[in-house]
Amino acid sequence: MFAVRFDPSEAELPKEKPLVPQKRAAESDDDSDEVQESEDESQEPERQKDESEDESEDKSREKLPEEPEGQEDVQNQDTSDIHSKKHDSVISRFQQTLKLQEKLPQANLIDEEKEASDTEARPLEQIPQPAKVRNTHSGEAFEERKSIAWRNTTKVHYDNQMVKPFASYQDQLQPRLLANIQQYFSKDTFPIQTVLLDNTLSLLNFTLGVTKKNLTRRVGDILVNASTGSGKTLAYSIPIIEALSKRTVNKLRVLVIVPTKLLIGQVFDTMSKLAQGTGLIISISKLENSLKEEHQKFMNYEPDILIVTPGRLVDHLQIGSITMKNLMMLVLDEADHLLNQSFQNWSTELMNNIKSHKLDQMPGNVIKMVFSATLTTNTEKLHGLHLYNPKLFVRDSVKLYNLPDKLQEYNVNVPTAKSLYKPLFLLHLLNRLQNAKALVFVKSNEASLRLAPLLAIMIEKRMGASHNVLSVNSNNTKSENKRLVHQFATSDTKESNQILITTDLMSRGIDINDITDVINYDPPISSQQYVHRCGRTARALGRGNAHNLLVGKGERKFWTQIEKDISRNVGYEPIISTEQDESIVNVSENENEVYKLCLEILRSQNSGD
Ligand SMILES: Nc1ncnc2c1ncn2[C@@H]1O[C@H](COP(=O)(O)OP(=O)(O)OP(=O)(O)O)[C@@H](O)[C@H]1O
């Protein structure tokens, strides 16, 4: 509320009521007395306007020592006499205001002359603008920030030619371990395995042979950003089994943390095969087992290696089933996923536990091995791991992530106007695949629950070949989904294409080696998700196809954004839909009729449910 400024130069009072400084709004928010005064019938209407000004005067008068209120006989006094008294009171109030203003800090006062002079003096030119802030989110700045994330880490580049026989490590691997690798996996390494074994085995063997001291600091922490299906599980399992195979007493020395139960089984399977005949105790911990039983099991037989999800790890740390006292190696598989999830803030809980239980409190007291095909560039996530002298093993490529070398991508552009027919276009695409085992990624459970039955109805109406369509979704029980995944993984594609419709639950780490095609029915939400989805095919240096159904300009534009983070092998550039693919998005008159009928059937099925 601004007081009306009183101009002292007009000290002589005009005929009409003098302008007096309005009182500031009363501190209390109860303005009922003001309403009361302004509605007071006793005053003549024409004076009401003046009265409102007088009210402030009346109100301020209440504050000032002067003629007592309610003097009824005041009407009979000489009016000039009344005026002079009123003027005295106005002038004395003005003087009071001036005194108050003198007490105010100068900064609060608006210098009218200066303000007046400023406004008059300033010509109507462009007011100078502040310097433009550099857009730190622009592409190059963002890329630069991403690469800074790796700047403080020693980079060890490798390329896909680095393959050699596992037998070349016979002096560095226990004979039993080498035999298990060659029996269950392969005679030759994959590139990421070569570069990792070359950089760790000799250090591990030297330190274990000469002195246990500083073993972890000699090796340092290991970060691996390697494409999907490139053999990361074997790459970290081999040095672990090698390092433990000489142990005498079973103690928990290795912790492997993975984001899902599905992955626990896969890692357990790989490590058990490698450790055959070594006597090592490898345990897993998963939610369906009772915590109490697992607690008892670990107390009776302390495992050498524990494979666990973050939530379960925190449970066991909190009830003291396991101790970090002897921990030597910590593996984070699908690390970017693990570090992005809250999971009761598991990494802080784990780091604190290591800090309070390890005898060796020096930095680098545990070798941390951080693996992913889309390793986070978000340093504060990695920062929480207190990395020690980390080495980053990364493909020699200019971008963040690599797609499998022999993955071929196909983009099918669906006009927005035809998006209603997307399920039919998916069927057209499936009809073109021969002996295919295809994963179809949709954006949600609901999408999966709608698409699978509609595909089945269209196939029944002979709109397409007789593909065998399965759907993994949250309506199924966990055991049903597990059975469906197993059925899909072991299915034969001679008679018909095997199709599994799923959400991104299946996009990480699932290792089904003969998936021929991945179809992004709904686009992924990030380049990481795109890499992991496509990585379900073209595994173990094999071939595979990824098909992207892109509806309208929006999804096409989004896809080009994803491209910025992705490197491909020479010759495997994405094939954008061409005229022969146009037939995928064509709908004949007859098809249109039958398709509409299928939609009707689906609607009646759903309403009938
Ligand atoms: N040297 C090798 N030779 C042949 N096959 C291998 C070799 N190493 C691993 N494999 C096989 O390759 C497949 C993929 O391995 P793995 O699951 O470890 O890949 P990954 O890099 O962890 O993939 P993702 O990032 O999707 O988890 C597995 O079936 C594995 O048995």
What are the pLDDT digits (tens) for 427-478? 999 999 999 999 999 999 999 989 999 999 999 998 888 899 999 888 888 8
CA distance 160 to 395: 8
Q: Which of 155-159, 176-180, 206-210 has the lowest mean pLDDT?
A: 206-210
- Tell how far the Cα of 232 is from the centroid of ligand 1, in angstroms: 6
Q: What percent of the chain has pLDDT over 70?
A: 74
Atom of ligand 1 nearest to the CA of 230: 21
Atom of ligand 1 nearest to the CA of 513: 29
Instruction: Give residue-wise pLDDT tens across range 223-236.
Output: 999 989 999 999 99
Give me the pLDDT at residue 77, please.
44
Give me the pLDDT at residue 144, please.
46
Query: In this model, does residue 29 exceed pLDDT 50?
Result: no
- Tell how far the Cα of 230 is from the centroid of ligand 1, in angstroms: 5
DSSP-derived 3-state class of residue 384: coil
Q: Please give all residues whose beta carbon lies within 6 A of any atom in ligand 1, as ranges.
A: 185-186, 188-190, 193, 226, 228-234, 373, 509, 511, 513, 535, 539-540
Q: What is the dihedral of CA 449, 452, 457, 461, to 10 degrees?
A: 160
Query: In this model, does residue 22 exceed pLDDT 60?
Result: no
Atom of ligand 1 nearest to the CA of 511: 17
User: For 165, which DSSP code?
Assistant: B
Q: Which of 137-141, 156-160, 179-183, 310-314 has the lowest mean pLDDT?
A: 137-141
DSSP-derived 3-state class of residue 79: helix
DSSP-derived 3-state class of residue 318: helix
Please count the residues of the chain.
609
User: For 167, which DSSP code?
Assistant: G
Higher pLDDT, 80 or 252: 252
User: For 160, which DSSP code?
Assistant: T
Higher pLDDT, 577 or 212: 577
Closest Cα to atom 22, ligand 1: which residue? 232
pTM of the model: 0.72
Q: What are phi and psi of 481, to 5 degrees?
A: -60, -40
Query: In this model, does residue 157 exceed pLDDT 50?
Result: yes
- The b/e string for 325-335 (b: 16+ C-beta within 10 A; e otherwise) is ebbbbbbbbbb
CA atoms lying within 13 Å on the CB side of residue 320: 2
Give me the pLDDT at residue 112, please.
44
Q: Which helix (H) or strand (E) holds 33?
A: helix 32-38
User: For 235, which DSSP code?
Assistant: H
Closest Cα to atom 10, ligand 1: which residue? 231
Confidence of residue 110 (pLDDT cuts 50, 70, 90): very low
Mean per-residue pLDDT, 270-297: 92
Place of tokens 């109860």: 30
Q: What are phi and psi of 414, to 5 degrees?
A: -100, 120
Query: In this model, does residue 132 exceed pLDDT 70?
Result: no
CA torsion sign for 485, 489, 493, 497 is positive
Query: In this model, does residue 95 exceed pLDDT 50?
Result: yes
Query: In this model, does residue 58 exceed pLDDT 50?
Result: no
CATH 3.40.50.300 domain range(s) in the chain: 142-396, 405-608
Q: Which helix (H) or strand (E) holds 158?
A: strand 154-158
Give me the pLDDT at residue 378, please.
62
Looking at every residue in the chain, the average pLDDT score rounds to 80
Query: Which residues, in sequence order, are CB contacts of 548 under 8 Å at separation 6+?
Result: 409, 410, 411, 412, 520, 523, 559, 574
C-alpha distances out from residue 221 to 150, 303, 361, 377, Å: 14, 23, 16, 16
Q: Which of 105-114, 215-224, 402-411 has the lowest mean pLDDT?
A: 105-114
Of 163, 192, 224, 234, best ligand 1 pocket probe by most atoms within 8 Å of the beta carbon: 234
User: For 544, which DSSP code?
Assistant: E
Confidence of residue 130 (pLDDT cuts 50, 70, 90): low
Strands of the sheet containing 329-333, edge to edge, are: 154-158, 391-395, 222-225, 367-372, 329-333, 254-257, 305-308, 282-285
Q: Which helix (H) or strand (E) holds 117?
A: helix 112-121
CA distance 413 to 64: 83
CA distance 510 to 229: 9
Mean per-residue pLDDT, 482-495: 91
- Domain 142-396 has what CATH class? alpha beta
Instruction: Give residue-wise pLDDT tens across range 497-534.
Output: 999 999 987 788 678 889 999 999 999 999 999 999 99
Give the tokens for residue 185. Answer: 């996996």
Contact 534, 546 (CB under 8 A): yes
Instruction: Give residue-wise pLDDT tens across range 243-258.
Output: 998 888 999 999 999 9
- Tell how far the Cα of 239 is from the centroid of ligand 1, in angstroms: 16
Contact 421, 599 (CB under 8 A): no
- Tell how far the Cα of 540 is from the centroid of ligand 1, in angstroms: 5
CA distance 462 to 594: 10
Atom of ligand 1 nearest to the CA of 228: 25
DSSP-derived 3-state class of residue 399: coil
DSSP-derived 3-state class of residue 571: coil
Of 181, 197, 232, best ligand 1 pocket probe by most atoms within 8 Å of the beta carbon: 232
- Tell how far the Cα of 223 is from the centroid of ligand 1, in angstroms: 17
Mean per-residue pLDDT, 214-230: 89
DSSP-derived 3-state class of residue 223: strand
Q: Where are the alpha helices (DSSP H) in 500-588?
A: 527-534, 552-563, 579-582
How many of the other CB atoms lie within 10 Å of CB of 539? 23
Give me the pLDDT at residue 101, please.
66
> Tell me, which fold does domain 405-608 have in CATH?
Rossmann fold (3.40.50)
- Tell how far the Cα of 234 is from the centroid of ligand 1, in angstroms: 7
C-alpha distances out from residue 319 to 19, 50, 298, 340, Å: 79, 80, 12, 25
- Partners of residue 367 on adjacent β-strands: 329
Place of tokens 């943390």: 257
- The b/e string for 378-411 (b: 16+ C-beta within 10 A; e otherwise) is ebebbeebbbbebbbbbbebeebbbbbbbbbbbb
User: For 227, which DSSP code?
Assistant: -
Query: DSSP readout, 419-486?
Result: GGGHHHHHHHHHHH-SS-EEEEE-SSHHHHHHHHHHHHHHHHTTSS---EEEE--TTS-HHHHHHHHH
Helix-strand-coil percent breakdown of the chain, rounded to 5?
50, 15, 40
Q: What are phi and psi of 427, to 5 degrees?
A: -65, -40
* Nearest C-alpha neighbor of 264 from the set 511, 75, 483, 588: 511
Instruction: Give residue-wise pLDDT tens across range 329-387.
Output: 999 999 988 888 665 588 888 999 999 998 888 888 999 999 998 886 666 678 778 88
Query: Which of 15-24, 115-124, 338-347, 439-448 is the most confident on average?
Result: 439-448
Give me the pLDDT at residue 60, please.
41
CA distance 61 to 92: 11
Closest Cα to atom 30, ligand 1: which residue? 231
Q: Which of 43-47, 213-217, 240-244, 531-535 has the lowest mean pLDDT?
A: 43-47
Confidence of residue 126 (pLDDT cuts 50, 70, 90): low
Query: In this model, does residue 205 exceed pLDDT 70?
Result: yes
CA atoms lying within 13 Å on the CB side of residue 512: 26
Distance of CA 172 to the CA centre of its chain: 41
- Tell how far the Cα of 509 is from the centroid of ligand 1, in angstroms: 10
Confidence of residue 52 (pLDDT cuts 50, 70, 90): very low
Mean per-residue pLDDT, 34-40: 38
Q: Which of 40-44, 261-265, 549-553 has the lowest mean pLDDT?
A: 40-44
Query: Which of 137-141, 223-227, 305-309 is the most confident on average?
Result: 305-309
Give me the pLDDT at residue 575, please.
85
Closest Cα to atom 9, ligand 1: which residue? 231
Give the tokens for residue 576. Answer: 């954008």
Atom of ligand 1 nearest to the CA of 193: 1
Of 192, 195, 233, best ligand 1 pocket probe by most atoms within 8 Å of the beta carbon: 233
Burial grade of 443 (CB within 10 A; 0-12, 13-18, 19 or more)? middle
Give the tokens for residue 55. Answer: 């009210």
Atom of ligand 1 nearest to the CA of 372: 25
- Tell how far the Cα of 492 is from the centroid of ligand 1, in angstroms: 22
